[in-house]
Structure 1
């Protein structure tokens, strides 16, 4: 683990010229302290190379998970499509069969009455 510590007196920070900063580095950890653009503000910037690498690793992992999830979602959609088509065909056949039975009964009743 890299760790950085910087101790400054307030006067030395306030006397910094514009654009100047205090900088310290220990291992992979970096720290910059400077005066802000607005009066009375202090800007502290800290970074660590290992954190950046860890962040990039997790970003790649998230990308891989999203890609896997997207492909799985597409597989599920493809699996559902044929069932949907078969359901429509079955519904149409049932409606046709029912209509045929009703028409046949009506025709037999009309032929029987004549």
Structure 2
């Protein structure tokens, strides 16, 4: 369904005496939207010219502008999608690293394990020292 293009009109009302008093080459011009009218004095005659901007040219301009903006939007969407994927990848790597560090920290520094090893070392060193001391006492 095509919509019709609304009519445009440029009207210029000039008293006849003003037209006669115009110097050679001078004129009046009026523009209203796409329509314009131009009145000039050339010698002993008046030249009236009317113009209307080309709708086709304007349509092509807007089509090209829409295309340029669409290409730019597509490019921006691709960039945003790339950075979203990078963010997800970095988050996953960071979560894996945090999990590994927590596991490693738990494995290295278990307080119960350290206390148990220290207790065993103390008992063993106490037994060894007691044995060595008693042995020296009996040898003398």
> Per the alignment, do residues 10 and 109 of structure 1 end up closer, same or farther by CA in structure 2, a change over 3 Å counting?
farther
Alignment of 1:23-38 (within 5 A): 30-31=36-37
Alignment of 1:37-52 (within 5 A): 47-50=51-54, 52=55
Q: Which runs of 4+ in 1 moved over 3 A?
A: none
> Per the alignment, do residues 55 and 9 of structure 1 end up closer, same or farther by CA in structure 2, a change over 3 Å counting?
same
- Unmatched runs of 5 consecutive residues or more in structure 2: 1-11, 18-34, 39-49, 120-140
Aligned residues: 80
> Per the alignment, do residues 85 and 9 of structure 1 end up closer, same or farther by CA in structure 2, a change over 3 Å counting?
closer
Shift of 1:97: 1.2
TM-score by length of 1: 0.53
CA deviation digits over 1:67-93, x for unaligned, max 9?
A: 111111221122222211110111011
- Unmatched runs of 5 consecutive residues or more in structure 1: 1-6, 13-28, 33-45
Alignment of 1:5-84 (within 5 A): 9-10=14-15, 30-31=36-37, 47-50=51-54, 52-84=55-87
RMSD: 3.2
> Per the alignment, do residues 53 and 85 of structure 1 end up closer, same or farther by CA in structure 2, a change over 3 Å counting?
same
